Amino acid sequence: MKIMVAVKQVVSLDEDFELRADGRDVDPDFFVRDLNEWDDFSLEEAVKIKEAAGAAEVVAVCIGSDEADDVLRKCLAKGADRAIRVWDDAIEGSDPIAIARILAAVAKRESPDLLFAGVQSSDQAFAATGIATGAFLDWPHAAVLTQLNYTPGATRAVFRRELEGGLLHEVEIHCPAVLTIQLGINTPRYASLRSIKQAAAKPIEVLAPGDLGLSDAEIGEAGSASRVRRMFVPDKAQAQLLEGDAAAQADKLAAIIRDFKGEAA
Residues in 35-74 that interact with another protein by CB under 8 A? none
CA-angle at 175, arms to 170 and 179, nearest 5°: 60
- The reply on whether position 27 binds another protein by CB under 8 A is no
User: Closest distance between another protein and the C-beta of residue 245, in Å?
Assistant: 8
- The reply on whether position 251 binds another protein by CB under 8 A is yes
CB atoms within 10 A of CB 146: 18
Q: Between 23 and 206, whose beta carbon lies closer to another protein?
A: 23
Helix (H, G, I), strand (E, B) or coil at 247: helix
- The reply on whether position 154 binds another protein by CB under 8 A is no
Q: Give me the count of residues in the chain.
A: 265
User: Closest distance between another protein and the C-beta of residue 82, in Å?
Assistant: 26
Q: Which stretch binds another protein (CB under 8 A): 10-18, 52-60, 65-73, 200-208?
A: 10-18
Q: Which stretch binds another protein (CB under 8 A): 44-52, 78-86, 162-170, 193-201?
A: 162-170
Q: How far apart are CA 260 and CA 238, in angstroms?
A: 21
Pick from 22, 193, 203, 240: which binds another protein (CB under 8 A)? 240
Residue 73's H or E segment, with its range, is helix 69-77
Nearby residues of 147 by Cβ (< 8 Å), 6 or more positions away = 159, 160, 168, 185
- The reply on whether position 242 binds another protein by CB under 8 A is yes
